[in-house]
A and B are shown apart, each in its own frame.
Chain A
């Protein structure tokens, strides 16, 4: 086995032309996923490089230049306080992406831990799954609203609130995977050879849950960005002093007939960000789970 192992782990190096052919094949098979990936990378670059993209202080108020229409000087116009909407939208990418990524990482990690343990410890399973059933019966946005109504508005609290709504879905997924994996012959073999439960979980179960978890994580990221925008739009999200896309749109609401660009520009960016993450998720699902990919 050990003689075989290296060749399994380390595939032969691809020559340059082979690598090129391989990547052409990937693009050809999943063009939408590649587009999604590229757009997402661009958005991340935009978020990271926000101060260098011709932006001004997104919070700088200038009452003289209130509600200017989009023009050469103010690409996306200015809002009712004279703040530059372009700068606010570019900096807003930071908030959306940060919320999406943090929730995806937190929810998958917590869900993975709970799912692994409940899938293996029978008596815990019943209790935890009833709690998860209860949590899943509360529509996500409403649950996040309730959590936000009881805590101070802050970015951390938004992330925690959205994470709470996403964890049960991850637990469900992991638990169902664990339940089928633990019936596999190699797990029986591991038990028979006296491997302790934590080691079985870590070495034999965990690696098999990672691919579906990664796909689920992408979808969670997309859904978290949407939920953050909805919460901010309803006034239950990120504090108004932070220029998130949802906040910019919330402030533009009352002025929609006068200055629709206050809604449309952040709206376009938000939709684009969510779309790119969703496309990436679909592509990864197709690549990692061919069985599901056929029909979806």
Chain B
């Protein structure tokens, strides 16, 4: 067990290293002169040269990668081209809103999706199950920003219950903070809910067909006790796995959601960086998000034994 834990943790290092190498070499792999693309159409030759030097494009690849990677390991993600501020500082200033949004969405999604999937499997084939399935296909097909605008139109403009956009930090009051996060969390969470509900339902159906579930029913347990105590517990591994994998959807969605709801988080920073072609920021954000994604899935892997003690690593 301990051996596996250590091996599994070590195995994330090459993956993150691969991400770093890839994100870094994009600058060299893309056709054309990235310095010219970043500088834009109205740039002078000197501008392009300045950016080339700033990105280190005038140096050999391996030298540059070595310098960059050792800086990253010391927590230095480079300097933004546009603002001249360190990328770590820019990201650091914006962690709060993004973390708030992501956590709210995660809580909403799991709290809604798992019961949905359980009920769908329990009532398999009945109307409520059909509705769950319909929702999970539709949720997968609606772009997050279209859904966001529908929600804004209904609940912020028409009914005027919630703010249209913006963000209030937690220290200015819990309710003010939460009010601004309700619509974004629903918009961002829908695709995630669709994914988790679908897998939960499938996993539950599999477990509900097992003999021990029939036994539990036969010995007179209440349906809720069978569903939650016997079935859900045994269906936990695929559910937790999909929650981990789905984090990728959450991360991609954060970028869009923050930009629709004008939330000053890391996603918003990324979009501003795209428009200004500020590559060091994009590079830093991707590295950060990918690392989080890999680590979350490491945690998911290591949690299997907690849900299913039979698992031998």
* A135 interfacial by beta-carbon distance below 8 Å: yes
* A16 interfacial by beta-carbon distance below 8 Å: no
C-alpha spacing A149/B202, complex, angstroms: 39
Q: Which residue, of A145, A150, A226, A279, has the highest number of chain B Cβ atoms within 10 A? A: A150
- A52-60, A194-202, A260-268 - interface stretch: A260-268
Is there contact, CB below 8 Å, between B145 and A152? Answer: no
* A134 interfacial by beta-carbon distance below 8 Å: yes
A150-B27 contact given A257-B157, A267-B146, A295-B206, CB 8 Å threshold: yes
Is there contact, CB below 8 Å, between A149 and B279? Answer: yes
- A72-80, A113-121, A171-179, A230-238 - interface stretch: A230-238
Is there contact, CB below 8 Å, between A236 and B274? Answer: yes
- Min CB distance B88 to A, Å, is 18
Is there contact, CB below 8 Å, between A145 and B138? Answer: no
Interface residues of A in 220-249 (CB under 8 A from B): 222, 226, 229-230, 233-236, 249
- Min CB distance B149 to A, Å, is 5
A32, A151, A260: which contacts B153 (Cβ < 8 A)? Answer: A260
- B66-74, B98-106, B249-257 - interface stretch: B249-257
- Min CB distance B144 to A, Å, is 8
C-alpha spacing A275/B194, complex, angstroms: 13
Is there contact, CB below 8 Å, between A148 and B274? Answer: yes
A137, A233, A257, A270: which contacts B256 (Cβ < 8 A)? Answer: A233
A150, A256, A274: which contacts B149 (Cβ < 8 A)? Answer: A256
C-alpha spacing A141/B283, complex, angstroms: 13
C-alpha spacing A249/B148, complex, angstroms: 12
C-alpha spacing A260/B206, complex, angstroms: 44
C-alpha spacing A280/B251, complex, angstroms: 27
Main secondary structure of the interface of B (DSSP, over half): helix
Chain B: interface residue total (CB-CB under 8 A): 60
Residue on A nearest B248 in the bound complex, by CB? A139
Residue on B nearest A234 in the bound complex, by CB? B271
Is there contact, CB below 8 Å, between A275 and B202? Answer: no
Is there contact, CB below 8 Å, between A235 and B275? Answer: yes
What B residues does A279 contact at CB under 8 A? Answer: 137
Is there contact, CB below 8 Å, between A150 and B26? Answer: yes
- B11-19, B181-189, B214-222, B304-312 - interface stretch: B11-19
Is there contact, CB below 8 Å, between B290 and A141? Answer: no
What B residues does A110 contact at CB under 8 A? Answer: none
* A146 interfacial by beta-carbon distance below 8 Å: yes
Interface residues of B in 120-178 (CB under 8 A from A): 137-138, 140-146, 149-150, 152-153, 157, 164
- Min CB distance B236 to A, Å, is 16
Is there contact, CB below 8 Å, between B143 and A139? Answer: no
A267-B279 contact given A137-B293, A230-B256, CB 8 Å threshold: no
* A271 interfacial by beta-carbon distance below 8 Å: yes
C-alpha spacing A151/B19, complex, angstroms: 20
What A residues does B270 contact at CB under 8 A? Answer: 142, 145
What A residues does B15 contact at CB under 8 A? Answer: 130, 133-134, 137
Name the interface size band of chain A. Answer: 35 or more
* B108 interfacial by beta-carbon distance below 8 Å: no
C-alpha spacing A184/B197, complex, angstroms: 35
Residue on B nearest A143 in the bound complex, by CB? B286
Q: B-facing mask of A202-217, CB < 8 A → 1, else 0?
A: 0000000000000000
B38, B275, B286: which contacts A138 (Cβ < 8 A)? Answer: B286
* B180 interfacial by beta-carbon distance below 8 Å: no
- Min CB distance B217 to A, Å, is 20
B18, B140, B145, B282: which contacts A145 (Cβ < 8 A)? Answer: B282
Is there contact, CB below 8 Å, between A133 and B141? Answer: no
* B78 interfacial by beta-carbon distance below 8 Å: no
Residue on B nearest A253 in the bound complex, by CB? B260
A137, A138, A150: which contacts B30 (Cβ < 8 A)? Answer: A150
A137, A149, A257: which contacts B282 (Cβ < 8 A)? Answer: A149
Is there contact, CB below 8 Å, between A230 and B145? Answer: yes
C-alpha spacing A278/B270, complex, angstroms: 29
C-alpha spacing A256/B146, complex, angstroms: 11
C-alpha spacing A140/B145, complex, angstroms: 16
Is there contact, CB below 8 Å, between B140 and A278? Answer: yes
Residue on A nearest B153 in the bound complex, by CB? A260
* B32 interfacial by beta-carbon distance below 8 Å: yes
C-alpha spacing A264/B202, complex, angstroms: 33
C-alpha spacing A294/B209, complex, angstroms: 12
Residue on A nearest B142 in the bound complex, by CB? A271
* B205 interfacial by beta-carbon distance below 8 Å: yes
- Min CB distance A38 to B, Å, is 16
C-alpha spacing A279/B133, complex, angstroms: 11
- Min CB distance A271 to B, Å, is 5
Q: Offer 13 A-B interface pairs, CB within 8 angstroms, sorted by A.
A: A130-B14, A138-B293, A139-B248, A141-B255, A150-B27, A150-B279, A151-B32, A222-B140, A230-B256, A264-B146, A264-B149, A267-B149, A279-B137
Interface residues of B (CB under 8 A from A): 14-19, 21-23, 26-27, 30-32, 34, 37-38, 137-138, 140-146, 149-150, 152-153, 157, 164, 198, 201-202, 205-206, 248-249, 251-252, 255-256, 259-260, 270-271, 273-275, 277, 279, 282-283, 285-286, 289-290, 293-294
